[in-house]
Amino acid sequence: MHDLVLQRCLIADPLSNFHRQQVDIGVRDGFISAIGQDLTGKEVWDAAGCLVSPGWVDLYSVCQDPGEEWTEDLHSLAAAGRDGGYTALCTLSGKDPRPDHAAVIQHVRRHPANDILPIWPIAAATAGMKGEDMAELYDLRQAGAIAFSDGTTPFRDAGVLMRVLEYAAQWNFPVFAFPLNKSLAGKGSVNEGNTSVQTGLRSMPALAEETAVAEIIRVAEYLQCPVHISRISAAGSVALIREAKARGARISCDVAAMLLAYDDREITSFDTNWKVMPPLRSQTDRMALCAGVADGTIDAVVSNHHARNTEQKQVEWDYASFGAIGLQTSAHCLKAAGIDPFDWAQVLSHGPRKALGLETHILEPGHEATLSIYNPDLGWEYSKAFNHSKSENSPLLGQQLTGRAVASVQCGRWLLHPAP
């Protein structure tokens, strides 16, 4: 007898022998105990019309707890992540102190919010997240850090990047490098193109990202070290990474879900919730990003969730902070981008886990029962009442969306998400 049976599931896992098949999944003692037909169990749920994949892992979200808990705390972050279908979150936490302190990493690891959803802390790669001097990576890893990143702060120069990668490679520590040439980006906040001319907003050329991507790749190839390029946005970046992978470079990368579904034409509304980092690029860039997901160049899709309060967003565009909440809308963005729902596991589970150096979860008997269950065709309203974040900085809030996670299984524990 199984503890839990999910009936009539559509398996969405390219690594499983049951991929695209409609079957029952049996769960016992936290593991997948059987996959087949007509299974029985103590608890049974009819999953007809739903796809089931290995549990989704978000590689990048921001939660300034401790420091600015009024924008988001770890409890609200976990609640938003769970509702979005995630089974684990990699989170850059802390404002004062920054996550270059072991105490901040331990705060996240030991926080009760982990009972809602596992939160894996990302530690700062450099002291104070200034991109200059290397942080105490070993101590931070010992405290429980899952990876290292300075968020949206790029490394000051190639020398700093080299030192961080060389040191991290000794211990197989994942490093997330944000690609941005600050001298080329200047004070820009939107993509350079027709829309920036139309709106008169200061622009940030794709070249500012592409030159940084090229530098990161060359350093990684020189050192023969792995590196994860975090949140690319430009067609040129996709091409550079595709070419580097063909040469055998140990490169992985991700893209924010919003950038797959929307482009810089949205900023003509001057809604500051569209002001994100990296910025929405052109339709050509967006299509190249989707193609990169489809052909495997892009390894992961991230929420890029960053809560901001009203005072940081309800101001003129130039004075507004970058960032939008996105944990509850990633599935909608993938659907809107036209990404095959049967392939979501590749960029929401397998790719993220590989980037972190973790064991791959596969929908086969004997593997851990950590599952995401979603309906890519389900329509729902992203209302304020249904928003689990403490902040409301999403341009999608109040809209009718399509695609939503409806349930999850966390190490055998069954969680049915309430309908909006």
Map out the domains of the chain as residue ranges. 56-355
Q: What does CATH list as the number for 56-355?
A: 3.20.20.140
Radius of gyration of the chain (CA): 20
Q: Are 71 and 307 in contact (CB under 8 A)?
A: yes
Closest by Cα among 271, 283, 234, 223 to 256: 234
Greatest C-alpha distance within the chain? 65
| pLDDT tens sequence for the chain (420 residues) | 789 999 999 999 999 999 999 999 999 999 999 999 999 999 999 999 999 999 999 999 999 999 999 999 999 999 999 999 999 999 999 988 999 999 999 999 999 999 999 999 999 999 999 999 999 999 999 999 999 999 999 999 999 999 999 999 999 999 999 999 999 999 999 999 999 999 999 999 999 999 999 999 999 999 999 999 999 999 999 999 999 999 999 999 999 999 999 999 999 999 999 999 999 999 999 999 999 999 999 999 999 999 999 999 999 999 999 999 999 999 999 999 999 999 999 999 999 999 999 999 999 999 999 999 999 999 999 999 999 999 999 999 999 999 999 999 998 788 888 777
Number of residues that this document lists for the chain? 420
Closest by Cα among 382, 386, 384, 387 to 402: 382
* Pairing between β-strand 371-381 and β-strand 51-54 as defined by DSSP bridges: antiparallel
Q: Write the single-letter amino acid at 388.
A: H
Give the whole-angstrom CA distance, residue 409 versus residue 221: 39
CA angle at 399 for the pair 395 and 403, rounded to the nearest 5°: 100
Tell me how far apart the terminal alpha carbons of the chain are, to the nearest angstrom.
33
Q: Write the single-letter amino acid at 341.
A: P
Give the whole-angstrom CA distance, residue 2 versus residue 44: 9
